[in-house]
Amino acid sequence: MGTSSSFGGPKGRPSLLPPWADEDSVDNIQTDNEEEKDKSNETNSSETTEEDKLSGNYAGAKNSLSRYVNGGSGSSVRNASKSYVRSLGGAKKATRSSSSGKRAVSAFGGFLGNVARDGINQTLRNLGLGDLIGESASVVFAGIVDAIAPTGTSNEEADARQAIVDALNMLYDKYELADDNLSKLDALNATDIREAILDSVKAYIYERWLQELSLCIEKHSLTPGEATRKETEMKEHIKAAVDYDFEDQDVLNMDFAEGSGKELIENIFYEAYQTLES
């Protein structure tokens, strides 16, 4: 069935593929992301990125992450996360710099609300994906990713795109879609949508931080088993941090792209970063 708790493996190494992704859909989603990240890295080598503008104090974050990876004195995933968010300029600036992540989560929330109200088939038609109705979960989910996630022209966009893949992975597991019966998604309710939105935020923050962890793991030559343990600790730490109460919000009919819906997504990101920084 797949690994419902998986956000994927570290960048630069084989990742845990979504259970719905066949070879063709993996080529469409992951290979494109990797190519765009390569292009972004080439561009960023000669240009100042948005994150570079946020804070010049990356040394403390890198040192804290190195201590965590090595298990040195005073090392902990909490200290590493605190230093990481501070290196981004604090929770407020970290939230501001998560522009692609916020847009992707907003689009994902809107997609889920549409499925709950109108059903998966009508939602696909509304997205211009009517020709995918009746196709396998792998084909349909790949189309959804292309429709609502950014293309990945920067590292931050690629992380946002991967977060949507990860969140769809969890829905695939939860609704047992290995049989390709996507009509099961018509049963989505408000609680499911809130959970899926939080899952996508967790995945985004994890993917973004994972870039730095992967470099640190490579530098210190950890074994695959050691690397996996560190990544799991990070994942669980983020999972605990992203816990926002919005039971009173009508997520079935909310426009997450503007107004109170947009503000809600902003608040979820800010509170998550604030918790990681504390």
Question: Per residue in 105-118, pLDDT tens?
Answer: 999 999 999 999 99
141, amino acid identity: F
HEC per residue, the chain: CCCCCCCCCCCCCCCCCCCCCCHHHHHHHHHHHHHHHHHHHHHHCCCCCHHHHHCCCHHHHHHHHHHHHHCCCCCCHHHHHHHHHHHCCCHHHHHHCCHHHHHHHHHHHHHHHHHHHHCHHHHHHHCCCHHHCCCCHHHHHHHHHHHHCCCCCCHHHHHHHHHHHHHHHHHHHHCCHHHCCHHHHHHCCHHHHHHHHHHHHHHHHHHHHHHHHHHHHHHCCCCHHHHHHHHHHHHHHHHHHCCCCCCCCCCCCCCCCCHHHHHHHHHHHHHHHHHHHC
Alpha-carbon distance 148 to 131, whole Å? 17
The pLDDT tens digits for 19-58 are 666 555 555 555 555 555 454 444 444 344 444 444 444 4
At 190, the pLDDT band (50, 70, 90 cuts) reads very high
**In this prediction, what percent of the chain has a pLDDT beyond 70?**
69
Mean of per-residue pLDDT scores for the chain: 80
How far apart are alpha carbons 21 and 25 in whole angstroms? 6
As a three-state string, the secondary structure of 196-217 is HHHHHHHHHHHHHHHHHHHHHH
Q: Are 189 and 183 in contact (CB under 8 A)?
A: no
**Length of the chain (residues):** 278
What pLDDT was estimated at residue 211? 76
pLDDT at 100: 97
Q: Determine contact, residues 168/125, Cβ cutoff 8 Å.
A: no
Q: How far apart (Å, rounded) are the C-alpha atoms in residues 167 and 6?
A: 10
| Residue 22 pLDDT | 59
pLDDT for residue 121: 98
Q: What is the pLDDT confidence band of residue 128, given thresholds at 50, 70 and 90?
A: very high
Distance of alpha carbon 28 from alpha carbon 23, whole angstroms: 9
The predicted structure's pLDDT at residue 95:
97
Chain Cα centroid distance, residue 193:
15
Q: Is the pLDDT of residue 206 over 50?
A: yes
Mean pLDDT of 220-230: 73
Tell me which of 125 and 15 has the higher pLDDT.
125
- The CA distance from 145 to 129, in Å, is 11
Judge whether residue 215 has pLDDT over 70.
Answer: no
Q: What is the mean pLDDT of residues 134-143?
A: 96
Give the distance from CA 165 to its chain's centroid: 8
Residue 226 — pLDDT band, cuts 50, 70, 90?
A: confident
